[in-house]
């Protein structure tokens, strides 16, 4: 059994040791667990990383940013897991065709390159609030990377004729190669720059 019946997830290498316990990679034909892994605590740690990407693709609403006064997210995909599954499957085919690599490995590389190591938190002392730099927990790093990869997809498909799968494949490949055109890489650099100035 392989991911989508095509890609082997057992050979994948994760360079960031902090992410290893939180990145679940198992060969599954279907990336839909029907919520069976959320019956107890630590549910995110038990969900396959590809299914987590698919779940992020189904979100709706404006998120934190707007583009031209309209919503980023949506793309007729809200809550429709079958459409999201097909989009990710097509994106993986495009990645394999363009790079010749296992698309699951390219996704892991993109996530590793998009994870911010530092962030800013507000600390109040004696009624005075100040921003201070803090290290980011591995599960938060993973969530932030997936969120930014998906936001890049919605930004690139907004009011354009680019298909969802093409935009997803492009976003993953740009992040995997650390290209500065990638929204997730730009966002990571911005978060870390703000954190450095708050040290």
Domain ranges of the chain: 36-197
181 closest CA partner among 173, 67, 99: 173
Residue 94 Cα to chain centre, angstroms:
18
Rounded to whole angstroms, the Cα distance separating 158 from 183 reads: 14
Please tell me the predicted confidence (pLDDT) of residue 68.
44
- Give Cα separations from 187 to 45, 152, 154, 184, 194 (angstroms): 24, 10, 15, 5, 11
Pick the CATH number of 36-197 from 3.40.50.720, 1.10.455.10, 3.40.50.2300, 1.20.1280.50: 1.10.455.10
pTM (2 decimals)? Answer: 0.82
CA–CA gap between residue 146 and residue 110 (Å, rounded): 9
In a structure prediction context, what are the per-residue pLDDT tens digits for the chain, which is 199 residues long? Answer: 777 778 888 888 888 888 888 887 877 666 666 666 555 555 777 788 888 888 888 876 555 555 444 444 555 566 678 888 888 889 999 999 999 999 999 999 999 999 988 888 888 888 888 888 888 888 888 988 998 888 888 777 767 788 888 989 999 999 999 988 888 888 888 888 888 888 7
């Amino acid at each position: 059994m392989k991911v989508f019946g095509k890609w082997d997830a057992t050979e994948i290498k994760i360079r960031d040791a902090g992410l290893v316990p939180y990145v679940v990679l198992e060969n599954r034909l279907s990336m839909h667990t029907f919520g069976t892994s959320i019956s107890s605590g630590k549910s995110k740690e038990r969900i396959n990383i590809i299914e987590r990407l698919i779940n992020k693709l189904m979100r709706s609403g404006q998120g934190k940013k707007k583009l031209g006064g309209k919503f980023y997210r949506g793309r007729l995909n809200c809550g429709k897991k079958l459409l999201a599954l097909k989009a990710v499957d097509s994106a993986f085919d495009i990645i394999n065709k363009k790079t010749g690599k296992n698309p699951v490995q390219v996704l892991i590389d993109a996530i590793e390159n998009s994870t911010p190591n530092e962030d800013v938190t507000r600390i109040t002392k004696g009624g005075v609030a100040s921003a201070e730099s803090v290290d980011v927990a591995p599960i938060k790093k993973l969530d932030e990377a997936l969120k930014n990869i998906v936001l890049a997809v919605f930004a690139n498909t907004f009011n354009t004729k680019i298909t969802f799968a093409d935009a997803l494949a492009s976003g993953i490949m740009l992040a995997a190669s650390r290209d500065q055109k990638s929204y997730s890489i730009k966002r990571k650099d911005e978060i870390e720059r703000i954190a450095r100035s708050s040290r």
